[in-house]
Structure 1
Amino acid sequence: MTDSWLNKVNWSEDGLVPAIAQDAATGRVLMVAWMNRDALKRTAETGEAIYWSRSRKKLWHKGEESGHIQKVQEIRLDCDSDVVLLQVEQKGGIACHTGRESCFYSKLEQGRWVETDVVLKSPDEIYKK
């Protein structure tokens, strides 16, 4: 497979594209991260989600520390070619570094944010440092 498919992506000025991770079975949005060209290429090659960490300025293999890897079932590109959608099988059922299933655990209710999802595993247990 050639890399020409990567040229279709409308990369930002800093060479990134937002990537949405969605549970392939339930459709729930688990998280949003960033990918550069290498991250997207390696994700397609390995079948596991690899992102670009803007804070650490390096590739980040989802689950490299927590064990909660994302097995990629499908990769899609939106109509403007500027957002990637990864349909994944979330290993361990935890996508968020807070120990929740999804990073989208806060819901706006009557003008305030309410945490609606329980912590499935303490971050202290997940990231034993």
Structure 2
Amino acid sequence: MEKIMGLIEETTELMLDWEKINNISNENHVIPVAVQNMNTKEVILIAYVNKLALEESIRLRKVVLWSTSRNKLWFKGQESGNTFTLHRIFVNCEQNSLVFIATPDKGGICHTSHNGVPNNCYYRELDMETMKLINLND
């Protein structure tokens, strides 16, 4: 299913991307990483890292990810200025996923906002009765 950027972020329809992981190139050897706000404990986003992104994150003490859609290193916030300082890294038991504990260096967290106020990436809740998304900012 092809999604139009903008629509996916605004809709109340559940449009889960079941193909995302299937479309990730195996040549980059990525694993998922959850980025959590150290101060609020909010999960900011789920992304991917490869060895290079992890090494750069550690070296810079900034959140650096691997963009699976652009197939390149993604210095989180480089374009928007909404970078993240990396404080801690946790590794799961099977060593196939990570959690980055980070703090936003300024206000923005996600590329979306509500009335000019930055969201985290988890700003909608699924109503399990109606199967509609509810914007928690409304």
TM-score (norm 1): 0.77
Q: Secondary structure at the match of 1:65?
A: coil
Q: Tell me, what secondary structure is at the counterpart of 1:93?
A: coil
On the 8 A contact 1:21/1:30 being kept in 2, the answer is yes
Q: Deviations over 1:40-69 (max 9, x none)?
A: 011011100111111111101001001000
Equivalent position of 2:122 in the other structure: 104
Deviation at 1:102, TM superposition (A): 1.0
Residue 90 of structure 2 corresponds to: 76
| One-letter amino acid of the counterpart of residue 134, structure 2 | V
- Offset of residue 13 of structure 1: 4.8
| Off by >4 Å, runs of 4+ in structure 1 | none
Q: In structure 2, what is the equivalent of residue 50 of structure 1?
A: 64
Unaligned runs of 5+ in 2: 1-24
Q: Which runs of 5+ in 1 are unaligned?
A: 1-11, 119-129
- Aligned twin of 2:32: 18
SS at match of 1:92: coil
Instruction: Indicate the residue corresponding to 2:109 in structure 1.
Output: 95
Alignment of 1:38 with 2:56, yes or no, is no
